[in-house]
Structure 1
Amino acid sequence: MFEFCRNACVLLPQPRRLVVLASAVAGLVLTACSSNFIYKPEVVQGNFVSREQVQALRAGMPRQAVRDVLGTPLVTSLFHAERWDYAFTIRRQGAEPQQRRFSVFFKGDALDRIEGDALPTEAEFAAKLDNRRPPTKLPVLKATESDLAKFPVKPDAASVPALPAAPGGSVSYPPLEAAR
């Protein structure tokens, strides 16, 4: 194979050889670097269940109350009607994928027990989502009397003249439509 390429390049005129060589090098460089610059969309699947939601659950709660707290389960099965599964996965470019599983078990219509991974609070989850940019320090919002004096003071409602009142004490406005 290399013998063929060497022979083919020898047969090409000098400017063409440079074009072929430059094209081959550019193709190799672009192929090697392209995986770093491809946009990969964020993939969110399932239901996020927080620690606060789980703390709101109580043994004996009816199914509808559990659904109100946790949302619709991701997986329900006819063969396992007494079990609801909540799964959550998020994959973001530049961050570790997160995956959580949580199951709720019923006896009849009442909540019996719960099982699953350790769940983060909503604040912990939000902080973990925002890990790609460093936190910025908020500026202190202070204005001195001299800073405030630079802006004109708007008149208060007491100093604004009142609209002329119509007979009977109510304010009269012009009609919205012309009289016919």
Structure 2
Amino acid sequence: MDQKVITKFKVATEDAISELLYLTRTIALEKYAHLVNEEVIEAYISLHYNDKQIIDEMNSFGNQWLVVYVDEKAAGYAFITTQGKRPVVLEGKKAVSIADFCVLKEYLPGQAKQSLLNKCLTIGKGYESIWLTEQIDSPLISFFEAHGLQPITERNEHIHPDIPMCYLIKEN
């Protein structure tokens, strides 16, 4: 049986915030808990993924939140922004960042990540470049490369110095 996969823009409603709090916490634990101790990941989650932070980010001009659904269940999210630190090679360019691109482990093998990335790349077409940050050893690197995002070597300590990250950039 085919699964119904759809990616939607989200606005700051109580349901959307609750959904994003669940997704951000669950995915952060899935991705990073085995790499750093529990205190580090809990501190990161409480700093970056709390009600106030998500509401502020959802209401900030230049930011967009997307949620991908599989059979009407939230399966992942992307946070897209024109704000924040960017790779040196993009200084002075009209660029947008996929600040977060996350899919729950159980949905990674399906079409959720493709639907989510398609929407991100569509948003990125209005810019000179689109970029994201990902763990160097992430299984998603080849997926991003297959869609034109190329890794560059520039040091990036996104969550913790012990988690090596890289930038991936797509020029339009």
> In which range does the TM-score fall when normalised by the shorter chain?
under 0.3
> Taking CA–CA contacts closer than 8 Å with sequence separation of 6 or more, which of the two structures ends up with the larger relative contact order?
2
TM-score (structure 2 length as normaliser): 0.21
TM-score (structure 1 length as normaliser): 0.20
- Structure number with the higher strand fraction is 2
Larger radius of gyration: 1
